[in-house]
Amino acid sequence: MPTFSSTVYSHQMKQTALLNLLIGTLIVETGFFLIENDISTDPGMAWRVGFFILMPLALAVLIWFQLRWAAMACVIYATVGLALDIATIIQVLTKDSVVGVSLIATVISGLFNFFLIVFGGRSLLDVGPGPMPLEPHPPNPPSPS
């Protein structure tokens, strides 16, 4: 009778699916961000693109390289972003104006920030023990004089 071994997943394999989901959401968020804000050359737009798109992407890449501090920074960044997205969604829904691209862009941004929290938090919790210190060498035997 054949025996089946249990499947073993490495840390990188567990994170790959979540990273793909995160990057896909980032691409959609970038598209909605650019549609909502109209591509322009003003300095404020470059700052917004850097802070809302490139910063989370950089944090996700640093987490992929298993830097522990980046995971905590990612969770903090995304938590603040998710809180702002929820506040914006509530503001858009309670306003008497037409709900359109703005709401969809904010919902996508909220999903992205949620996935960023999950990615960073999972990475923070999956960190294994650090490298063990080297074994001390035994003392040299006394030399005969």
Query: Which tens digits make up the pLDDT trace of 71-95?
Result: 889 899 999 999 998 998 898 888 8
Query: Which tens digits make up the pLDDT trace of 21-66?
Result: 777 777 877 777 777 666 665 666 667 777 777 888 888 788 878 7
Determine the Cα–Cα distance for residues 89 and 114; give it in Å rounded to an integer: 14
- Of all residues in the chain, the percent with pLDDT exceeding 70 is 73
Determine the Cα–Cα distance for residues 134 and 84; give it in Å rounded to an integer: 47
- Confidence band of 129 (pLDDT split at 50, 70, 90): low
Phi, psi dihedral angles at 48 (to 5 degrees): -65, -45
* pLDDT at residue 133 is higher than 50: yes
* pLDDT at residue 12 is higher than 60: no
- Confidence band of 130 (pLDDT split at 50, 70, 90): low
Query: Which tens digits make up the pLDDT trace of 90-115?
Result: 988 888 666 777 788 788 888 888 88
Helix (H, G, I), strand (E, B) or coil at 29: helix
Q: Say if residues 60 and 19 touch (Cβ distance below 8 Å).
A: yes
**pLDDT, averaged across the chain:** 75
Selection from 27, 23, 17, 32 nearest residue 85 by Cα: 32
Q: Say if residues 71 and 124 touch (Cβ distance below 8 Å).
A: yes
* pLDDT at residue 10 is higher than 70: no
pLDDT of residue 4: 46
pLDDT of residue 14: 59
For residue 131, the tally of other CB atoms under 10 A from its CB is: 6
pTM of the model: 0.66
Selection from 78, 84, 89 nearest residue 25 by Cα: 78
